Amino acid sequence: MIENTSFKFVKGTFSAEDAKEVMFKLIQSKISYHQLEAFSISERTSANVDHIQKRIFELNETKNDLETIIALAKKENKKLKIDGTITIEFID
């Protein structure tokens, strides 16, 4: 049996501007991936892509929430500690 695996994807203390750049690039990459996936599916088939559109909406909400947090950190001249772990597991 193969164990679950975790990777430290983002770890460190960042200025508000650096945190914004790192986090927004990650989120935008995911949004672009899902947009391309939805486009590809809709071009090839008539399959429903509502679940993909829902995920894009969720990611945009996360981006908005992060923008608020980062703006507050910048306003209060605070740094942000980010610790993001990716966990991969095998499923049947």
The pLDDT score that the predictor gives to residue 2 is: 75
The pLDDT score that the predictor gives to residue 1 is: 65
**Which is nearest to 57 in space by CA: 36, 30, 20?**
30
DSSP code string of the chain? -PPPEEEEEEEEEE-HHHHHHHHHHHHHHHHHHHHHHHHHHHHH-----HHHHHHHHHHHHHHHHHHHHHHHHHHTT--EEEEEEEEE----
Low-confidence ranges of the chain (pLDDT < 70): 1
pLDDT tens-digit profile of 71-92? 999 999 999 999 999 999 998 8
